[in-house]
Amino acid sequence: MREAFAATGVKPPAPYVGSHVLRHSLATNLVRSGASLKEIGDLLRHRSRATTMIYAKLDTDGLRSIAQPWPIAEAAQ
């Protein structure tokens, strides 16, 4: 992986670049395509949903763009 990044001139996302980079990329793309965490976990052969959530980083800026404002309760009189 390190050689592939160097050959393409792309900056690696972290100092360590191994198979985890591919797993993160796959999981993130699956989330963006609408796959459920269960489907992603099954594909990556995870036993724990928490492990899948580490790999399936969400697009925080994208989520902010669709988030609804928190409802504010009217003050009780």
pLDDT tens digits, 1-49 = 888 888 998 888 777 778 888 888 888 888 888 888 899 889 989 888 8
Structural domain contains residue 33:
yes
For residue 63, being part of any structural domain is answered with no
* CA dist., res. 28 & res. 35, Å (int): 10
Q: How many domains does the chain fold into?
A: 1
Q: Region 45-62: what's the mean pLDDT? A: 77
pTM passes above 0.75: no
Q: Rounded to whole angstroms, how far apart are CA atoms 67 and 22?
A: 29
- CA–CA distance, 33 with 2 (Å, rounded to integer): 27
CB count in 10 Å sphere of residue 73 = 5
What's residue 75's pLDDT?
A: 52
pLDDT at 53: 79
Q: Is the pLDDT of residue 76 over 80?
A: no
Residue 77 domain flag: no
- Is residue 53 one of the residues assigned to a domain? yes
Q: Is residue 43 part of a domain?
A: yes
Closest to 62 measured CA to CA, from 34, 20, 22: 34
- State which residues form the domain around 39: 2-6+15-58
